[in-house]
C-alpha cells in the first residue's frame, strides 16, 4: 500500500493532535499547556487542509482553507487570553503590584 | 520513491519530532523557541499542500505573533529566564501515554478509511466564482460565500481584546513601555515598519486575484504595531482611536450588510457588478481591525507598568 501525499500529512495531523492532547493532560505548567493546545489546533488545521488537497484539480477545496485561515487568527487571540490568565494566576506578587501606577 | 514523496515524509517526521521536543524540552524557554520553529516548518507544510494563503498567515502568526506573546509571558512569569528558570518536573503517566497512543491509532485508521473520491465543495466554488467579484477562491469563500462566518469571526476577535483588557488593572492600551528603545531597535523600526505597511497593503490588494487578503495583511500590520509600541514610539493611539480601529472591520461589514438589506437584498447578498468593490472595502476595514487586534492583544497583556520595565530604567 502506498500513501498519497494528503494521507502522509493527514497521519501527521493525527499524531500532532494526540501529542498535544497528551501534553495538555500531563504538563503541570500553564504556559506549556497553552503551547500543547496550540499543537492540538495545528493538528486540526493540518487535517482540514490535507482533506482539501485530497483530489485537488485546478486548486484545492477553498472552503477548508478559509476555515483554517480564520481559525489561525482566532487561535492566536484565544492563546493571548490564556496567556493573560496565566500571567494573572502565575505572578506570586500580583496582590502587591496590582495597584494602578501613579 | 520520488523526491517529492521523500520530502513530504521527511517533513512529516520532522514535524512530529519537533512537536515532541516542544512538549518534552526540560526548560520552558527551549520549548517556546522550538515551538516557533514548528510554526516555520508548518508554513512549509502549508505550501506543500497548495495552501499559500495559509502559509503566509502561519509564517506571520505561528512564527511571529504567537512567539512574541509566549516569550513575553515567559519573561513576565520568570524574570531572567533562559538559564536559571525553574525546571518543572514532569511526571510521566503511563495511563495518559497509552490512551493518547490508542487514540492516535484509531484516528489514523479512521483517516485511511475516508473515501478518496468525494469532491468536496470545489465544484460549487468554481461554478459561482465568476459572480463573486474576485478571482481568488479562498477570498471568494471568506468575503462572499461565507461572509457571515467571517463577519462573526471579527466579532470573536473584538471579544478576545475585551477579555484580555478585562484582566488588567493598569493603563490599558494607551501606555508606553518606559525607558525607550536603544538606537539599533529604533533604526530597525524606522527601516522595517514602512516596509511592513507597504507589504501589508500589497497583500491586501493581491487578495482578489492571488494568495493574500485581509488576514495576511492584518497580521503584518499587527506585527508593525507591536514593533512600534516596543520601540516606545509616540503618539500611542488614544482610547477612542483604539476603539475605532478595533471596531472598524466589524462595523464595515455590518454597515454594508445593512445598506444591502435596506435595498431589499439579503444580508451580504452583494450585487455582482459591485461585489469586487464592496469586498475590497470590507477587507480594508477588516485588515485594519485585525492589525489593531493583534497589537492590542500584545499591549493589553502588559497589565501592570512594573511588568513592562525589566531594565529598571523607569519606575516612576
pLDDT in tens, B161-198: 999 888 865 567 877 776 667 888 888 898 999 999 99
Burial class (CB in 10 A: 0-12, 13-18, 19+), A2: exposed
Of A23-37, A68-82, B100-114, B117-131, give the lowest mean pLDDT range: B117-131
Place of cell 514535524: B15
User: Average pLDDT of A13-36?
Assistant: 93
Give domain status of residue B125, yes or no: yes
> Are B263 and B166 found together in one domain?
yes
Domains of chain A, start order: 5-88 (1.10.287.3510)
Domain with B242, as residue range(s), is 121-306
Examine the pLDDT at B87 and tell me if it is beyond 70. Answer: no
pLDDT, chain B, mean: 86
Which residues in chain A are contacts of B19 at CB distance < 8 A? 15-16, 19-20, 39, 42
Query: Is B312 within the bounds of a domain?
Result: no
Q: Same domain for B279 and B146? A: yes
Look at residues B55, B86, B114 and tell me which one is the last residue of a structural domain: B114
- Could you tell me if B196 and B255 lie in one domain? yes
DSSP A28: -
Task: Find the CB nearest A76 among B66, B74, B171.
Answer: B66
Name the pTM for this structure.
Answer: 0.88
Domain boundary among B86, B114, B142: B114
According to the model, what pLDDT value does residue B83 have?
Answer: 52
A83 with A34: CB under 8 angstroms?
yes
A98 pLDDT above the threshold of 70: no
Select the residue of A18, A53, A73 nearest B50 (Cβ to Cβ): A53
Q: Does residue B37 sit in the same domain as residue B95? A: yes
Are residues B150 and B266 located together in one domain of the fold? yes
Question: Whose CA is closest to B307, among A41, A83, A8?
Answer: A83
What is the tens place of the pLDDT at every residue in B54-72?
A: 998 888 887 789 999 999 8
Residue B85: helix, strand or coil by DSSP? Answer: coil
pLDDT over threshold 70, residue B209: yes
pLDDT at B81 over 70: no
Task: Indicate the pLDDT class of residue B19, thresholds 50, 70 and 90.
Answer: very high
Chains A & B: contacts with CB separation below 8 Å: 265
Q: Which among A18, A57, A77 has the least Cβ separation from residue B156?
A: A77
Q: Do A101 and B170 touch (CB under 8 A)?
A: yes
Give A-chain residues touching B66 at CB under 8 angstroms: 38, 76, 79
Taking the CA of residue B151 and the nearest CA in chain A, the distance in Å comes to 11
Q: Are residues B139 and B101 in the same domain?
A: no
Is B128 within a domain? yes
Q: Is pLDDT of B153 > 90? A: yes
The total of other beta-carbon atoms located within 10 Å of residue B17's CB is 10
Per-residue pLDDT band for B249 (boundaries 50, 70, 90) equals: very high
Tell me if B54 and A65 make a contact (CB, 8 A cut-off).
yes
Of B279, B248, B231, B29, the residue nearest B132 (C-alpha): B279
Q: Do B152 and B29 sit in the same domain of this protein?
A: no
CA-closest candidate to residue B254, choices B240, B267, B269, B271 = B267
Q: How deeply is B245 buried, as exposed, middle or buried, from its count of CB atoms within 10 A (0-12, 13-18, 19+)?
A: buried
Q: Is B198 inside any structural domain?
A: yes
B14 inside domain: yes
The number of folded domains in chain B is 2
Q: Among B10, B14, B15, which would you mutate to test the A interface (most chain A Cβ atoms within 10 Å of its Cβ)?
A: B15
- pLDDT of amino acid B305: 45
Q: Which residue of A has its CA nearest to B293?
A: A77
Residues B119, A55: C-beta atoms closer than 8 Å: yes
- Supply the pLDDT for residue B115: 85
Domain assignment of residue B213, yes or no: yes
Domain membership flag for residue B284: yes
Domain membership flag for residue B201: yes
Model pLDDT, residue B126: 86
Confidence of residue B80 (pLDDT cuts 50, 70, 90): low
What's the whole-number mean pLDDT along residues B76-85? 64
Task: Quickly list DSSP for B205-218.
Answer: HHTTTSS--HHHHH
User: Residues of chain B with pLDDT > 70: what percent?
Assistant: 90
- For an interface test with B, the pick among A13, A27, A53, A73 (most B C-beta atoms closer than 10 Å) comes out as A73
Do residues B192 and B266 share a domain? yes
Q: Is the pLDDT of residue A53 over 90?
A: no
Residue B71 sits in the same domain as residue B133 = no
Mean pLDDT across B103-123: 88
Rounded CA separation A34/A40 (Å): 10
Query: Taking CB atoms and an 8 Å limit, are A14 and B12 in contact across chains?
Result: no
Q: How does residue B301 score in pLDDT terms, banded at 50, 70 and 90?
A: confident
Q: Chain A residues with CB inside 8 Å of B149's CB? A: 66, 70
The reported pLDDT for the residue numbered B88 is 58
pLDDT of the residue at B44: 94
Q: Examine the pLDDT at B151 and tell me if it is beyond 70.
A: yes
Q: Mean of the pLDDT values across residues B261-267? A: 88
B279 plus B236 within the same structural domain: yes
Residue B313 pLDDT grade (very low, low, confident, very high; cuts 50, 70, 90): very low
Dist. CA B77–CA B57, nearest whole Å = 28
Q: Which of B92, B114, B136 is the last residue of a domain?
A: B114
Residues B99 and B141 in one domain: no
B293 and B223, same structural domain? yes
Amino acid at each position: 500500500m502506498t500513501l498519497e501525499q494528503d494521507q502522509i500529512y493527514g497521519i501527521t495531523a493525527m499524531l500532532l493532535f494526540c501529542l498535544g492532547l497528551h501534553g495538555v493532560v500531563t504538563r503541570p505548567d500553564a504556559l506549556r499547556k497553552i503551547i500543547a493546545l496550540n499543537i492540538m489546533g495545528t493538528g486540526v488545521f493540518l487535517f482540514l487542509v490535507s482533506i482539501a488537497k485530497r483530489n485537488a484539480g485546478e486548486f484545492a477545496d477553498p472552503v477548508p482553507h478559509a476555515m483554517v485561515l480564520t481559525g489561525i487568527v482566532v487561535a492566536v487571540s484565544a492563546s493571548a487570553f490564556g496567556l493573560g490568565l496565566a500571567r494573572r494566576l502565575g505572578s506570586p506578587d500580583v496582590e502587591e503590584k496590582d495597584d494602578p501606577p501613579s | 520513491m520520488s523526491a517529492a514523496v521523500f520530502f513530504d515524509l521527511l517533513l512529516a517526521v520532522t514535524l512530529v519530532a519537533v512537536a515532541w521536543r516542544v512538549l518534552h524540552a526540560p526548560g520552558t524557554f527551549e520549548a517556546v523557541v522550538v515551538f516557533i520553529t514548528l510554526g516555520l516548518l508548518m508554513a512549509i507544510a502549508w505550501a506543500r499542500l497548495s495552501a499559500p494563503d495559509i502559509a503566509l498567515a502561519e509564517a506571520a502568526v505561528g512564527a511571529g505573533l504567537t512567539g512574541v506573546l509566549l516569550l513575553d509571558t515567559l519573561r513576565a512569569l520568570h524574570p531572567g529566564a533562559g538559564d536559571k528558570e525553574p525546571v518543572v518536573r514532569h511526571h510521566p503517566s503511563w495511563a495518559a501515554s497509552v490512551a493518547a497512543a490508542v487514540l492516535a491509532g484509531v484516528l489514523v485508521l479512521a483517516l485511511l478509511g475516508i473515501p478518496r473520491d468525494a469532491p468536496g465543495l470545489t465544484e460549487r466554488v468554481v461554478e459561482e466564482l465568476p459572480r463573486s467579484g474576485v478571482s481568488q477562491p479562498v477570498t471568494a469563500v471568506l468575503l462572499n460565500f461565507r461572509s457571515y462566518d467571517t463577519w462573526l469571526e471579527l466579532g470573536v476577535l473584538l471579544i478576545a481584546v475585551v477579555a484580555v483588557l478585562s484582566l488588567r488593572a493598569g493603563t490599558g492600551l494607551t501606555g508606553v513601555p518606559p525607558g525607550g528603545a536603544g538606537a539599533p531597535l529604533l533604526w530597525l523600526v524606522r527601516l522595517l515598519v514602512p516596509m511592513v505597511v507597504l507589504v501589508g497593503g500589497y497583500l491586501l490588494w493581491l487578495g482578489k486575484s492571488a494568495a493574500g487578503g485581509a488576514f495576511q495583511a492584518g497580521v503584518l500590520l499587527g506585527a508593525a504595531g507591536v514593533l512600534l509600541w516596543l520601540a516606545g514610539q509616540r503618539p500611542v493611539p488614544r482610547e477612542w482611536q483604539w476603539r475605532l480601529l478595533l471596531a472598524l472591520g466589524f462595523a464595515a461589514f455590518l454597515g454594508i450588510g445593512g445598506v444591502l438589506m435596506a435595498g431589499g437584498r439579503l444580508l451580504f447578498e452583494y450585487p455582482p457588478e459591485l461585489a469586487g468593490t464592496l469586498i475590497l472595502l470590507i477587507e480594508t476595514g477588516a485588515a485594519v481591525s485585525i492589525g489593531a487586534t493583534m497589537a492590542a492583544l500584545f499591549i493589553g497583556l502588559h497589565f501592570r507598568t512594573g511588568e513592562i520595565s525589566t531594565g529598571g530604567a523607569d519606575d516612576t
